[in-house]
Structure 1
């Protein structure tokens, strides 16, 4: 089957009425089959389109069916224009013919988006501009610039305001800038050709080849040459070719296919130009010649199909082909085109066709179905961008939901970096109230202290700015477990973390109360960071903090870490790799300092805790045997829980055979065998199971074990009034305390003996504008909290080290501004150890001393506190035994408190 047979069958309408049929010359159907073939745009690439010259016949006129073929498509019509070279405006000159062609093709009347032109309208507009002869060249150029700038619409000149209030004047000036000044600057940049993004259509005129644009240097000079009067010195043929080249360039750009613009792929049919009464000597023949010349000279194809109808073809054409051989004529032309273009043969792009005069058969009486542009690909339909946007929005929503969520989202204010962990916890850091960790019921006090810290952050920044940035300014990160515990709606489950934050807030508050003229007193900003339950997301949080430290040179250390676990050890190693010192107020697992050379521990290690318990058992209780029960949180083990693991190992080594029972206790396990036990019953587990342990002992009734002692983790339970309320009332408990020197009674006694450090601490925690509620006030005795003083000591150690470094840096000029990059975290750690090398650091919770090769404190004070009835929250615990030194170095003796 020949290629033309299928299109011919499609073109023959079986439903047309006889009135709609035209008498076609022999071969007419072959011509329309070729046109249908050429108009269909390939899915990939583009074809070269010829200039079809139809020789008019005396027996049949093809113009009527051609017009119906192009102009009466049932759905999406071919963009086309119909011109008559003998009737105005077609009978005018080439610019007039192009103007009419532009008008017809610009109509939105073809069932698709209209063709947009940028280069041709500008060139045509310039040719219609005229200036008075004899006018100064500078004035002519200025007038052209004004017309070009205002070409898109007239603009009323805006005058600057001459009076009114300040707000009115400012608004008028801004309005003038928006309407006149800014557009003028943008226009100048566009026509200059120096800004690649702006004025691309201006730059095109300077890159094309007609009228030697480089002789004008700038676009404005070239544009001036196109205006009336100035154009008289140019060759008319070159001017016409420039106009035509600009017109074809607009068509090329309209028919570009860009992957990121599906609308480009909806143009499935080439535009067509139908010209009647074309002759070699008239304007129609001139336009056909110019189109062929521009295609050959520029070497660029365009998507315009031209069908010219005239009495005689150009003399430089070979003998026209019969209409019956239309497809063969096109194939022959397409094969010879590359060689003809290379040789620049006359009429390279022309294919002449004529009715076959030798054909004696009757003219074809078949009707011609109007041509419709093919349907665009499904993925270029108009619904696709909307659907794609919906998919992207949905995907973005899912990604945001997986990364952030309610109460866990980034902020434009402050330094906030958070993500939702797989468990649903909000992990990351924040220094502003835009992100407050933990929105669970019952955790109001935890949120309150965070907001207090963030408010003091703003105050510290303001004080630093008012001091002309002379005071040292540092940032400490609190890294802890702020989410993940299962709690009742009325249960405060993060007492220890809240207390540590209160301790750091107290240190921050103390610095804000320093005199405005104290240039050497530091100012503290605190970043609160959450590593999730059991610190399991410590790796993720530390990675975020490492990025913060790289971007912010004021970040000099990390305080917190809360629990001694393998995840905490990994976090320490990563903090060490990031060069950040880590100060742990309450970690006590043995040899945690092996994970970081920048680690410092405020509390005594488990080795010292075991010594304390052993001394108490032998010196006070006078017992030899012991029962030890330990616990770990669900999903954990002794290997992962370094605190419980090293504590149990220490008890084994210290007590040896005196431990007659060593068991892991689980929730729900009965302890009736321990009723009336006269030896040491030691709880070596986590605070979260201590409540269940006490409930199990309730079965003993009036015969409880005589000597129940708990490790220092139990102080987190003892600090929680809600949990203690349901404990057995007849069961006394003794537990290890790391801050017995910072109870309300101890602080008041220190105040009486004029201990300035503890007296100052006491006055701050009693203040109205810091802790909620204030602590140690007479008549409303609210205990300090085990960890408030420990976190306060950790923060103050780093602060004093920074102040010491700042004093040395500012020795030559005490009025010098503080430069955050002048010190680094490693230098601060070294300064802490240097200050500690003598008498140690006098902390509120006891003297802190380190050796040169260890981050664990030496002989740090530990004590045993006793409560006679656990539910009696109002009565303060009483110290019964202690080990370690309090204020001055000396023998680390143990004895009654």
Structure 2
């Protein structure tokens, strides 16, 4: 049977009547109010777009009529039965209330009865309960704001319990946490009780709006409660009715945030007898606000007969009322329809109600089911699925952060450019990503680099200056977090070069962006990083070169070869192994070769013999790691130069920290000294020169500890190669051994103290940008030259780019043109050198180009514990150096070592 049909064999109109009541309570699938008649033609969803101005249809209007039922008889008891075995003539799912209202009974008491009957597992009345509780105490609270505040605290018992629990727990925690637990919860609770703070206390905020008539400037809830006159029955009744209706409206709201609201398929039915007139009038008063919709069907009934103008069937009267609502022209007519009651006359009550049982669909059509997605089961499944999805996504993001060393949220197409290998994050990153978190100085340096990149991008907007990317490739992680001082100083040098360059002006001055690439603590992933750079495309700021590079190892050589195959020019800052310049024509370095520092070491040893400090004997301690080209190359060169000067020299090898001992395949005849610390012990008592041709970190650190273990009072004369500067760079590491002094070679002169005139402007900018570098002997003092060497490497690359941009021969800037320009840096400029670097003059050959600088400075310094290293002497071009700083035998350096 179609919805809206009635029984044909129903002369008394009982079926029509019960069908009308049931239909009033049925909630439409969309919108609110009485459904359109099922006999009215359905409108297309696009009809609203095509409606003509004269159509006059307002099908979106909400509204339920106030029903006046005359000659009710026993129908109210039938419509809202209280017995379990009663016959239901309307849908049993309709929430209903039939309070027994007595003559003169006030509205608050009537509402209390209604709420008691409607309260169920589907309907809750939190606003009404709070308001009713306060109204009961109104006589005691009137004019007493503090007492009203206490009453609010008691009413808000859940939060009050939390405040009390926090206060009790404060006794068991130390200061200042106990003070925080005593003060903060109470303060937050008072803010909640004021009703002023959004998101804190929804019921209390509602109560403040209701008491103040939605005045945003009203005082707090306690003051409003204290100002409410308990004798003002009308205002109190309106307040309680608003609380009741707002509770219902909130639960019937349909939105993505209120899914349960769609599960209410029936409006509540209120049956009010002839003594509820005052409540009916207040309900009629609420209908004047067209923006408000009260989701409730109110039937006021009387046993008296009422003369009807049109004796229409109830169902047809409802249809006509709905038609008047949607066709009313203007708000005044709309309001008049809502305020006019729907008057119907109840039919005689049949003796046999079983014929009209709602189970029979011929009288009342079956009610629609609540949407499946509004049920508790569906909502629980949804939240479980959402929690699972969020958990899976969080797990995937965490795994991505861990395995790909990424930041931010994971997406299927995201590529971080990094990966976790063992305990190290290797790959390419913007300066904002810290490969070794927790190092405050490193983070500050990278922040300056990040700001430099942002400035370059901003300057690039609207500028035709070349905009390029230079990659700093180095060992930016270590298994020992305390051995990254040299890496940090290298980054600082790059940061100063970028800052100075981006601050310059001129059409040929390039704007420089820096990318960081970590190849692992031993440069073991350098080749993979080189291949990764090939896939890193940036059309706006293309990669034109690589600077940095660390440790002359087999892995570093592989990286140089891969970068050369890719056509990326390189300028190494600290590499010195002789063979590197033969690995790729794209490779350049700003440090001298091992051959030059080996000659310097032998000449210095000869001077020590002449002064009687040592005998003409020498031991060269080196790492037996076959992949460490630096150690093997420097050992070979030093032994050869010492023997040329008549020294009895022998090699002593040791196992580097973390490596395995020599195996059966080892064929070396050199003395094996064991671990680096054991090698240091073995050096005690030797009266010649002890030369250390290994890694400064961690091998030399252990070697010096071994010397201190056995002969701290009379240590041998130790001279370390340039890699020992990594050990000297970190004062916290070298201060652990304060009784053993040693010499070491360096490729850069130490700066003057902060506040004094510096050899090069680089140091003034360095100390101004990174004040921690002025801490002496603090953790940041740069005395080893790594910062200056990195600056010179970056400045060399920038100089090549700058020369490309000169207007007289301006050519496109790319990796190949930059490489070609690097090969011409033997041409002097106005200063007399190709580049006046922070570590000295940089000339890549006076007559013909080569890949390492001519007559590059090599210095010998003496260090002991945390004391400031002292320069003993030097050879080579050093900016602003005086004659007394140089060794007397510098002029005798053979041409092949210049």
TM-score by length of 1: 0.49
TM-score, normalisation: structure 2: 0.49
